[in-house]
A and B are shown apart, each in its own frame.
Chain A
Amino acid sequence: MGNVLEVRGLNKSFGGIVVARNIDLTLQSGRIVGLIGPNGAGKTSLFNLITGVVKPDTGCISLDGAPLDRLKFHQRIHCGLSRTWQHVRLFPSLRVLDNLLIATHDYPGERLVNVLFRRRRLTEHDRVARDRARDILGRMRLADVADALVSDLPYGQQKLLGVARALMSEAKCLLLDEPMAGVEGASYAAMQRVVREVADRGVAVCVVEHNVAFVRDLCDEGIFMFSGAIMARGSVVDLIRDPQLTELYFGH
């Protein structure tokens, strides 16, 4: 299992607030890593730094050996990175299926020359994209709501759709920001199953999550962050049982 994502010596501070303190991180193909830590530990900031939403002060990031540092957010996505958002960020003016269809890796239907002269290629691309989107929706138990408005979905299903959208690009590395917050019941099980399936196909997955049970059941490994630094990496059970980390987490 090779390293998919490598982060070396990442530092970032906003004024006096340090959100990343000399972070080294590797994510391996087929493994799910849980990122845990109290609020303000810098977990989402780390995702923002990796994806290029925020520029680091120092440090370098590479995906499959290729440096990402000079690339913008959307260019990094094309390199094989994908992420979800803590607050979902779907496209409310598109229906559920369209939210996925728009997130394909390639979009020939938006180029004039294709629309005018290469209709057959477009139809083929559209068919493949639809099949893929419907397959993902099916696995997420969202097939019934493919034509629904995003705003009509309950919050749990919106979260699933956010993850589904991130899966459309066939990324090598998937960063999930609190996928389980507000998710329960059938959606909970679907999310757990789908994330596992994605990892089993060789994707490197990193999950920020406060739901300890979810992290324990799903993740192969845990990373504990506090105040912008990685404090420990190991089995999730060990991290949860560590009295020092527990103290940091609950701030006694």
Chain B
Amino acid sequence: MEYLDGIVIIVGLYVILATSFNLIIGYGGLVSIAHPVFFALGAYASAILSRDFAVPVPVAMLAGVGVAAVASIALALPSLRVSGDYLLIASIGFQLGLLEVIKNLRFTGGASGFTNIPPFLIRDFGRESYVVLVLAMMTAVILLVRWIARGDYGRAMSAMRDDELAFASIGRNAMWMKIAIFGLGSGLAGFAGALYAHYFRFVTPEQFELLQSAAILTMVVVGGMRTTWGPVVGALLLEALPQALAFVNLPPSVLGPIQGLLFTGLVLVFMFFRPQGLVPAQDVWRGAFTGARAPGETR
């Protein structure tokens, strides 16, 4: 059962990662690949605070969310002032640089990783309670992103993505909106990181390399950008496949490259044959609450 609990938690966390990345790259139109780094920041911040500074785990988790959000805003602020393209370049540098920093600092545990992270819930209520927590948070994140996308803010995001100059011409500041989206999406990734850290109780910088960027991007693209269920389907599919591969008993030196090939191969296949992903997006914004087709409205 322990093995299965672990899988369910991993899949749940990847659903959070893919859904929050969908907010950034899909709804926000912001091309960044550094999502795993905010996952890492949340995990490390929460782990260090709770183990070395005796901060209660729930508080440490919230601090992890905060660290990831603040770091993402610090990355977005200078690069988005120039243009959207710089965010991609800056995010690559940020990811590689920050992981090197983590590898070379003593208080992060260096390249060998950070161990003995205090557990949460498990000792008092059993492993199943943590599974319930992760699934509840996963559901909350899915609903939160859906709620944002369907509300007035989502309408503004659609307009911003359509045409930034026209967006400014109706008195809107696209840069602040992008920073808010990036900060929120990255904060949610940090939350996934914190949840990861206090279950598996061990993190290493290797877990957050570029392969993870490729994995999360693939989940969103293959699942379907700008949809509620696309990233969920993508995360389920792409996490289930490697788990299935693990049953084949391949040595880790072969498994790693195979996963990389799988992710890039899937992106290529989908790009050519089903660019809209498994769950196709509605090209036109649909409001759940307001908008052109509000229920009961007379023409």
Contacts and interface: CB of A to CB of B under 8 A. Distances in A.
Contact of B284 (A72, A95, A101, A166): A95
Interface string A81-111: 0110100011111111110011101010110
B100 interface: no
A129 B162 CA distance: 22
A73 B153 contact: no
A97 B290 CA distance: 11
Contact of A110 (B156, B285, B287, B292): B156
Interface in B120-176: 151-153, 155-156, 158-159, 161-163, 165-173
A91 B291 contact: no
Contacts of A101: 155, 290-292
A43 interface: no
Contact of A94 (B158, B168, B171, B172): B158
Contact of A51 (B169, B291, B299): B169
Main secondary structure of the interface of B (DSSP, over half): loop
Interface residues of A, number: 39
B83 to A, nearest CB: 15
A78 interface: yes
Contacts of B156: 102, 107, 110
Interface string A4-26: 00000000000000000000000
Contacts of A72: 168, 173
A181 interface: no
Contacts of A85: 165-166, 169
B29 to A, nearest CB: 11
A91 B168 contact: no
B161 A93 contact: yes
Contacts of A220: none
A77 B283 contact: no
Contact of A146 (B166, B173, B299): B299
Nearest to B282: A93
A93 B26 CA distance: 14
A147 interface: yes
Nearest to B284: A93
B292 A147 contact: yes
A110 B180 CA distance: 12
A95 B161 contact: no
Closest 3 CB pairs of A and B: A109-B152, A77-B171, A95-B292
10 contacts: A73-B168, A91-B163, A91-B166, A94-B162, A98-B285, A98-B291, A103-B170, A126-B290, A130-B297, A147-B293
Given A93-B284, A102-B159, A147-B299, 17 more contacts: A53-B165, A53-B168, A73-B168, A74-B169, A82-B169, A83-B169, A85-B165, A89-B165, A91-B163, A94-B285, A94-B292, A95-B284, A95-B292, A98-B155, A101-B292, A102-B170, A115-B152
